[in-house]
Amino acid sequence: MDKRLLIKKALEAREKAYVPYSNFRVGASVLTEDGEIYTGCNIEISSYSPTLCAERTAIFKAISEGHKRIKAVAVVGDSDFTYPCGVCRQVIREFGKDAIIIVANSEKDYKEYRLDELLPHSFGPEDLENKKK
Ligand code: THU
């Protein structure tokens, strides 16, 4: 896995952030199981609640193109190490139980976690498995 490439892509995506309300730019990239990379930025809406985080923009782009599993997510924000919010952690959980999360300030300055370190004792699709008809 080329972590520096993932961070580079997230940094490029951050340039596209639409953040007229917070001015807090975030970019993300997602590595799919078959090696493709999708990127996303945060998109803010004047009525606030429809706002979408960069991570979810990238993940939903990947899923909507037919991918089912994600191996890694890189995120670059506007603070010193911007971590994925709780909602994004749960969305990552849906498609990448074993995903690696790269939280970066730059291509050289980053930290790496397994999803279960950031979202321990999680709830996920398997919990609903025996309820399916
Ligand atoms: N944001 C993200 O894009 N990802 C995160 O993980 C944290 C927060 C965005 C949402 C909003 O546009 C701005 O940062 C401030 O909350």
pLDDT of residue 35: 97
> Any bridge partners for residue 110, and if so which?
104
Low-confidence stretches of the chain (pLDDT < 70) are: 132-133
pLDDT of residue 132: 67
For residue 57, which atom of ligand 1 is closest to its CA?
3
CA of 32 to the centre of ligand 1 (A): 22
Are the C-beta atoms of residues 71 and 96 closer than 8 Å to each other? yes
The beta strand positions in 1-133, using DSSP E, are 27-32, 37-41, 70-76, 100-104, 110-114
The burial of 13, by beta-carbon neighbours within 10 Å (0-12 exposed, 13-18 middle, 19 or more buried), is given as buried
Active site residue 55: yes
Q: How many structural domains comprise the chain? A: 1
Q: Domain range holding 13?
A: 3-129
pLDDT of residue 22: 98
Are the C-beta atoms of residues 121 and 97 closer than 8 Å to each other? no
52 lines ligand 1 (CB under 6 A): no
CA distance 124 to 110: 27
Q: Which one-letter DSSP state was computed for residue 123?
A: -
CATH number (domain holding residue 73): 3.40.140.10
pLDDT of residue 133: 65
| pLDDT tens figures, 26-39 | 999 999 999 999 99
Closest residue by Cα to atom 3, ligand 1, is 53
CA of 130 to the centre of ligand 1 (A): 35
Which of 46, 51, 53 is the pocket-test mutation for ligand 1 (most atoms within 8 Å of CB)?
53
- Residue 53 counted as an annotated binding residue: yes
Query: pTM for this structure?
Result: 0.96
